[in-house]
């Protein structure tokens, strides 16, 4: 399991070429400063992803939910939304490998 996870991290790093400039402060992201970004998260209102969306972005954005991580990523990829808030791990199952897989694939 650990070897598989390590391999997935390696693939993810190769895919997006982790560098400091890849990561930006939230307020430096396009459409965040003027509150025009459209956000999507997986789950229902009140879920941890919803709470994370509000904690990081606040309530002044267009925020919608979808049923699956894949749908959230697709909506960003096709331009319907600007950002998806996705969990990387949780307290029950640890890393959410489906999300890592989506980031590598898309």
For the segment 47-85, what is each residue's pLDDT rounded down to a tens digit?
889 999 999 899 999 999 999 989 998 999 999 999 998
Which tokens is 39 given? 């956000």
**Alpha carbon 63 to chain centroid distance?**
13
The pLDDT, as a whole number, for residue 64 is 97
pLDDT band at 34 (very low <50, low <70, confident <90, very high): confident
Q: Which of 64, 14, 70 is nearest to 44 (CA)?
A: 64
Q: Are 84 and 29 in contact (CB under 8 A)?
A: no
Gap between the Cα atoms of 75 and 78, Å rounded: 5
Which tokens is 61 given? 């954005």
Note the helical H segments in 17-65: 48-57
The verdict on pTM exceeding 0.95 is no
């Amino acid at each position: 399991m650990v070897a598989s996870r390590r391999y997935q991290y390696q693939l993810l790093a190769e895919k997006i070429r982790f560098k400091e400039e890849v990561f930006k402060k939230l307020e430096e992201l396009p459409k965040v400063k003027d509150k025009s970004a459209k956000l999507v998260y997986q789950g229902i209102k009140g879920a941890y992803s919803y709470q994370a969306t509000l904690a990081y972005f606040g309530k002044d954005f267009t925020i919608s939910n979808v049923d699956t991580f894949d749908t959230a990523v697709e909506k960003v990829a096709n331009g319907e939304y600007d950002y998806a808030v996705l969990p990387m791990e949780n307290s029950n199952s640890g890393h959410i490998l489906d999300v890592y897989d989506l980031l590598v694939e898309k």
